[in-house]
Chain A
Amino acid sequence: EPEVTQTPSHQVTQMGQEVILRCVPISNHLYFYWYRQILGQKVEFLVSFYNNEISEKSEIFDDQFSVERPDGSNFTLKIRSTKLEDSAMYFCASDLRGGTDTQYFGPGTRLTVL
């Protein structure tokens, strides 16, 4: 069964450093998403991406964050200057039609900012 994959599974970085989290969505899906989950809290929407542009973003997704689909398969989340409070599990997700069918999640990248 097709699945969303994410790399790395765990990333440790120093405050102020840039990180890039990578995702490979399911190949025929057209809508891509990033969510995050701070330890012990609920999953929060960050951004949605369709047709090579951001379709919606949350208040969390400020100028420190950016997303990109650099080729036909990868979908990346960049955090330019990490802060301690960016420590969280980051999930990538994808679906076919943008909100009308199952949204599949990757296994997540645990980001630890020291």
Chain B
Amino acid sequence: SQQGEEDPQALSIQEGENATMNCSYKTSINNLQWYRQNSGRGLVHLILIRSNEREKHSGRLRVTLDTSKKSSSLLITASRAADTASYFCATAVYNQGGKLIFGQGTELSVKP
């Protein structure tokens, strides 16, 4: 598998439900960042979690990082129709000067 793989590839839920997306990676990292992309638009930064952190919260977002399993999860609580977008994890690989390696993304659809 490739660095920064996400699952599921697609997720469809009802408004108000929680959405969980997972990301796996292969190498040592400085940090892992989650981005959102609305169709055909730019990348919006959501949250960064450093390699020495295990959990981080920002509003309705909760990110966990397990460096022993080389995996991360993004939880969006109480989802809204406006959360409909693609979500990508991106790893800043240790000692590679800032280059981010992106996963394939999870396409989230939140139905009203």
The reply to whether B33 and A44 contact each other, CB–CB distance below 8 Å, is: no
Stretch among B11-19, B60-68, B101-109 lining the A interface: B101-109
The reply to whether A31 and B88 contact each other, CB–CB distance below 8 Å, is: no
The reply to whether A48 and B98 contact each other, CB–CB distance below 8 Å, is: yes
Cβ–Cβ < 8 Å partners of A33 in chain B: 98-100
Minimum Cβ distance to chain A for residue B79 (Å): 23
Which range holds the interface residue count of chain B? 20 to 34
- Inter-chain contact count A-B, CB under 8 Å? 77
Does B41 sit within 8 A of A, measured CB to CB? yes
Does B82 sit within 8 A of A, measured CB to CB? no
Binary contact track A19-39/B, C-beta < 8 Å → 1, others 0: 000000000000101010000
Does B54 sit within 8 A of A, measured CB to CB? no
Question: A42-B88, A42-B104, A43-B90 given as contacts; is B96 within 8 A of A99 (CB)?
Answer: yes
The reply to whether B97 and A55 contact each other, CB–CB distance below 8 Å, is: yes
Binary contact track A37-73/B, C-beta < 8 Å → 1, others 0: 0000111110010100001100000000000000000
Which range holds the interface residue count of chain A? 20 to 34
The reply to whether A99 and B92 contact each other, CB–CB distance below 8 Å, is: yes
The reply to whether B103 and A42 contact each other, CB–CB distance below 8 Å, is: yes
Residues on A lying within 8 angstroms of B by beta carbon are 31, 33, 35, 41-45, 48, 50, 55-56, 89, 91, 93, 95, 97-108, 110
Q: Which 4 A-B pairs have the closest CB atoms?
A: A99-B98, A98-B98, A107-B42, A105-B43
12 A-B pairs besides A50-B97, A103-B33 with CB distance below 8 A are A42-B88, A45-B99, A50-B98, A93-B100, A98-B98, A100-B30, A101-B48, A105-B35, A105-B42, A106-B42, A108-B41, A110-B40
